[in-house]
Amino acid sequence: MTSEYPVKRFTNPNPVYQSLSYRDKLTMLVCFSSLRFELLQGQGCNSLKYSDKSTGLTAEESEALRMLLSTSSNSLSFWPIRVLSMSEELRRALYASNAASLDIEPFIPDLVGVTEIFSEEHRKKLCRHLPARAEGYVWTLVFSTSQHGFSLNSMYRKMSRLESPILMVIEDTEHNVFGALTSCALKVSDHFYGTGESLLFRFTPEFQVFNWTGDNMYFIKGNNESLAIGAGDGKFGLWLDGDLYQGRTQRCSTYGNEPLAPQEDFVVKTMECWAFI
């Protein structure tokens, strides 16, 4: 189908933008305009829904978007009615670790508490991958092995009344930094819990985030003896013992991750848990 609104109407000098398809250029235009969209959460759905209110676009651009969103799927099969799907290329562009590639300076949240692990660069990279309900909040330290001891039960107690995603970061004795973002506070449970907002990350050898693959729902499971984040085929994405001393990281189908540390088994030097409150 040949559009009556050529790509040049949506041009941008940024090379990342120029490399995107026409569909993705329009989707990016939508993302960075004042159009009201909602990110569809859960079920591994990465798409944007149009809320039928638009400002900040030229009349031609607005009409082009309305045309695309109202055209039947037979004549515009790659764009579902009223839903704009983000391709993997656009996701990489939107969430690239180099903010300068899109001329966007990420907001670096303030910390309530003293960190022994996070650098400003760590926080700048991680804040891009927070769930929407965690954005705009300060990061509050709710548990630290340095302050509260090496005890999984102590960690559970510190989170017993929290209603917030948790950012867990670990530095091992080999100075590798890695961790997990969980969709809720950690607790003792007989079964797996959590949602697809959860993820794993590592900073060594380079920063990588491992999102939910949709293959299973083994997000988080904890008891008094251990804590596991991500699982499948008898392996755990991140596993810690009850003393928060020994840990293990393996490939797991929940997050499709690489091991978070160079060695599968590691020893915890410091662990911190941050809430968004």
Per-residue model confidence (pLDDT) at position 22: 52
DSSP H helical ranges for 9-142: 15-18, 22-31, 59-70, 88-94, 120-126
Per-residue model confidence (pLDDT) at position 107: 75
Over the stretch 17-63, which tens digit does the pLDDT of each residue have? 455 555 555 555 544 443 333 333 343 443 444 333 333 445 555 55
Over the stretch 115-155, which tens digit does the pLDDT of each residue have? 999 999 999 999 989 988 898 899 999 999 999 999 999 99
Mean pLDDT of 174-197: 97
Give the helix/strand (H/E) hosting 189: none
Over the stretch 214-273, which tens digit does the pLDDT of each residue have? 999 999 999 999 999 999 999 999 999 999 999 999 999 999 999 999 999 999 999 999
Per-residue model confidence (pLDDT) at position 58: 53
Cα gap 15→17, rounded to integer Å:
5
Per-residue model confidence (pLDDT) at position 108: 84
Per-residue model confidence (pLDDT) at position 29: 54
As a dihedral over the C-alpha atoms of residue 155, residue 160, residue 163, residue 168, rounded to 10 degrees, the angle is 10
How many other CB atoms sit within 10 Å of the CB of residue 48? 17
Top-confidence residue, 214 or 75: 214
Residue 201, pLDDT above cutoff 80: yes
Give the helix/strand (H/E) hosting 140: strand 139-144
Give the helix/strand (H/E) hosting 156: helix 152-158
- 209 phi, psi to nearest 5 deg: -120, 135
Top-confidence residue, 91 or 161: 161
Per-residue model confidence (pLDDT) at position 123: 94
- The dihedral built from the CA positions of residue 76, 78, 81 and 85, taken in this order, carries a sign that is negative
- Domain ranges, ordered by start, for the chain: 7-94, 107-276
